[in-house]
Amino acid sequence: MTTSNVDSVRMKQNLTALVAINTENPPGREREAAECVAGWLEEAGFDLSFSEYAPGRTNVTAVLRNGSGPCFAFNTHLDVVPAGEGWTQDPFTLTEREGKLYGRGACDAKGPMVAMIEALRLLSAQRDGWSGTLMGVFTADEEVASEGAKHYVRDAPPAIDFAVIGEPTSNATFSAHKGSLRPRVRVKGVSAHSGTPELGVNAIYSAAKLLGLVEEAHHQQVRCRCHPLVGNASLTVTRVHGGHADNVVPESCELLLDRRMVPGEDEAAVKAELQQLLQTAQTRYGVEAEIVAWQPTTGGATETDSAEAIVQASLDACRRYGQPDPGPFGFQGGCDLVHFRTLGAKGVVIGPGSLAVAHKPDEFVPIEEFIAAASIYRAIALAMLPVEAAS
């Protein structure tokens, strides 16, 4: 394995700077990090632009046009999850020990971002080796609802042919991910004094009947939908809230359902199934319930066929730079690949570090993977932007 031309000292310095910028989401405040990234890439010869969907919630886009050919984009997110408790060092001070770099965002996803920035620098300095348009699209708010990526897509950007999304995959290739829907369901009852409960309708009891149907639907219908890379779809409940006083029969109870979709499922059809579930509760048990809101999520499921050139190029690059089991695999959760797929991009998800340590105290990225990721990213871009494409 060789990582020639990769400046590992510069990469560590860049990651130190980004980790020190607190972009915990909520509230996000990605503007400072976006400006930091913009400064590095402007020095490398890229054209830079910013876009905001809310004050301080900022995307940054870098573009380098180098002759005719496809458009290739690197993407990952500027925000991180809250640091939380349990750290053995300051989460916003990058700390190196035993071959690992520790800090909030080290692997999810400021480590992948720095590796992408290094690859973009190297590609800018190697313009005789590729032809087309090269982009870095670094977005806000992936961790809560992917609002940054959704805003970027709504802004009608140019079509992107190929995209690599940076998330911690231990430098393996992931070509599919799940999607999610989270309906907030209100179950209705009739209040009464708790001393005379027969004069009311207990919404919590009614919600319990609906929950039985949710469990039944998961086991008998939803989980039977299986995808070879991401596994089965699912339906579960993640929150319950009912009642407002100790001595009052509750007139309402709210449930938050979590429906994980697999590639090939249609979002509109899944929403219709959830509505039908409430209708079944009405017909079978007399339960009155309605979906009062859809909670924000990262989005739907997607996949790029394993036979596509970018998947094959990614597998080759991951293998060449130290990953003996390069995939392709599938994410159980969601990410921003689905939004780039709506632009026509065929894409994959690759990055240093492991999801097993993301979102936890003492998050880290292995230094060897971190440095190798820059070479992986560069190799994929070179494969997808060949000079012979210029004609």
Q: How much is the pLDDT for 346?
A: 98
Nearest Cα to Cα of residue 367 among 16, 123, 75, 97: 97
Tokens of 254: 């709210």
SS3 of 144-161:
CCCHHHHHHHHCCCCCCC
CA distance 23 to 211: 37
DSSP secondary structure letter of residue 100: E
- Provide the 3-class DSSP secondary structure of residue 125: coil
CB atoms inside a 10 Å sphere around CB 93: 12
CA distance 204 to 222: 25
Write out the chain's pLDDT in tens, 391 residues: 444 699 999 999 999 999 999 999 999 999 999 999 999 999 999 999 999 999 999 999 999 999 999 999 999 999 999 999 999 999 999 999 999 999 999 999 999 999 999 999 999 999 999 999 999 999 999 999 999 999 999 987 889 999 999 999 999 999 999 999 999 999 999 999 999 999 999 999 999 999 999 999 999 999 999 999 999 999 999 999 999 999 999 999 999 999 999 999 999 999 999 999 999 999 999 999 999 999 999 999 999 999 999 999 999 999 999 999 999 999 988 999 999 999 999 999 999 999 999 999 999 999 999 999 999 999 999 999 999 754 4
CA angle 255, 258, 262 (to 5 degrees): 160
Alpha helix (H) residue ranges in 73-186: 110-124, 147-154
Q: Tell me which residue has tokens 């639907």.
A: 217
Q: How much is the pLDDT for 1?
A: 44
The bridge status of strand 71-77 relative to strand 132-139 is parallel
Nearest Cα to Cα of residue 345 among 354, 337, 333, 335: 337
CA distance 356 to 12: 22
Is the bond preceding 109 in cis, omega lying within 30 degrees of 0? yes
Give 316-345 as a DSSP string.
HHHHHTT-SS---EEESS--THHHHHTTT-
CA distance 257 to 238: 6
Query: Rounded to 5 degrees, what are φ and ψ at 265?
Result: -80, 140
Burial class (CB in 10 A: 0-12, 13-18, 19+), 43: exposed
Find the Cα–Cα–Cα–Cα dihedral 364, 366, 369, 374, rounded to 10°: 60
* Amino acid letter for position 359: H
CA distance 66 to 69: 8
Exposure class string for 305-320: b at 16+ Cβ within 10 A, else e: ebebebbebbbbbbbe
